[in-house]
Structure 1
Amino acid sequence: MDQNVAKWEGKVSARLVKSTVDQIWPLFTDFLNIHKWFPGVETCYGVHGNNGEPGCIRFCKVSATASNNDVARPEMDEASGWAKERIIAVDHDEHSLTYQILENNLGFESYVATVKIIPASGEDGPRGCTVEWSFTVDPIEGWTLDALLRHYDQCLQLTLNKMEASLENLE
């Protein structure tokens, strides 16, 4: 990668009206179970460390073909994609988790992302929160930053829909 090429930076967010920070936060810190929520992730398991703690490394396998409600991935062909990701920092008070991609076959280099969950403001009462997913990454061949942001926005929406539906089933 050319040292003079600027990194891509972006952020997507989604608002939940039925779920609280305290309900959603544990689902994100359960780092080894992202396959339950994230579209297209078939498998996720621990490689190193303790789940949800800094230093924890997970291996994720991503399906090459989008199935119902999954989003298409233009960077993938017939083969499945994979990534090893490590938690860099967790702040339980601020409901913030930062992770990086260590290795992958998806074209991501120097990738670092933070997921932060922000409580709803007072007018909404105790319910509701906003989930922000921000990232920096070297430009990815075959993508534009706008396309990546649209992809992330769609993935975040689908992820949160699954999370919120699972919480409704518990009530």
Structure 2
Amino acid sequence: MGDCSAEVEFGGNAAPEAEVASTPGLDASQNVSTRRAKWTGGVEDVLMDCPVDAVWELASDWANWQRWWPGNPTFELREGENRKAGCLRYATNVRSLPGAWVNERLLAIDNEKHCFSYTVEANEVYGGLTGYIAEAQFRGTDDGKTLVEFFKYEVEPVTNQTPESWLFIMTNVYMSVVKDLERGAQRLAAGLDPKPEHTSRA
């Protein structure tokens, strides 16, 4: 899927400079055979009115997305070292996943290319997601803004959803994340706390 892809998960080679987490016990041949059934989608070429350094400072802080996420979400580091491939975070009480919780493992991260990929492990999201892998990449523009080159996913078919309904859900989720990240990065670039003290959104 891109430079921050983990080889065993995405079926391609990760960039040499990207940190990539190992995934013990995963049968790569089985992964290849099931990838055809996976649903894919996401967003691309979304312009953010903020500098890429501020965006990346917040986005790469994997265990602390509450710094900029609206409301009072919980993001906790459960395994590994924050901002490093292989670390695991627990998230709950986030606006896009009401009443749900999820463990998300960072598969790869590249601070030069501003990209990361992650997978969902144990979770209570839409009845339990399986095979969910996402990747995002950001690029600074000549006029000091940030282009979200892509934020995309692959996932095994989701209970009570169709590929089209899931694409609609995830497009809205990703765009919401991008907009909230943009607001946080704008505040950070201005020397302010990335998240206002008071927010009505949960």
Query: Could you state the TM-score of these two structures normalised by the residue count of structure 2?
Result: 0.66
Kindly provide the CA deviation profile for residues 9-30 of structure 1, in whole angstroms up to 9, marking residues without a partner as x. 112143112x221121111110
| Match status 1:136 vs 2:138 | no
Q: Which residue of 1 aligns with 2:109?
A: 90
* 8 A contact 1:115–1:133 mirrored in 2: yes
Q: Which residue of 2 aligns with 1:47?
A: 78
Q: Which residue of 2 aligns with 1:111?
A: 132
Deviates more, 1:131-140 or 1:141-150: 141-150
Q: Which residue of 2 aligns with 1:15?
A: 47
Q: Which residue of 2 aligns with 1:150?
A: 171
Aligned length, in residue pairs: 152
Deviates more, 1:45-54 or 1:31-40: 31-40
Q: CA deviation at 1:7?
A: 0.8
Q: Which residue of 1 aligns with 2:61?
A: 30
* 8 A contact 1:34–1:41 mirrored in 2: no
Kindly provide the CA deviation profile for residues 100-150 of structure 1, in whole angstroms up to 9, marking residues without a partner as x. 111101032111111211121x4xx3x101123111111222332332233
Query: Which has more strand, going by share of residues?
Result: 1
Q: CA RMSD in A?
A: 2.4
Q: Deviation above 4 Å: which 4+ runs of structure 1?
A: none
Tell me the distance in 1 between the aligned counterparts of 2:171 and 2:157: 15
Q: Percent same amino acid among aligned pairs? A: 24
* 8 A contact 2:68–2:180 mirrored in 1: yes
Tell me the distance in 2 between the aligned counterparts of 1:154 and 1:39: 14
Q: Which residue of 1 aligns with 2:195?
A: none
Give secondary structure in 2 for the equivalent of 1:141.
Answer: coil
Q: Which residue of 1 aligns with 2:198?
A: none
Query: AA paired with 1:23?
Result: A
Query: Could you state the TM-score of these two structures normalised by the residue count of structure 1?
Result: 0.76
Q: CA deviation at 1:35?
A: 2.5
Tell me the distance in 1 between the aligned counterparts of 2:67 and 2:84: 19
Give secondary structure in 2 for the equivalent of 1:170.
Answer: coil
Stretches of structure 2 that go unaligned for 5 or more consecutive residues are 1-33, 193-202
* 8 A contact 1:60–1:82 mirrored in 2: yes
Give secondary structure in 1 for the equivalent of 2:171.
Answer: helix
Residue pairs, 1:56-75, within 5 angstroms: 56-63=87-94, 70=95
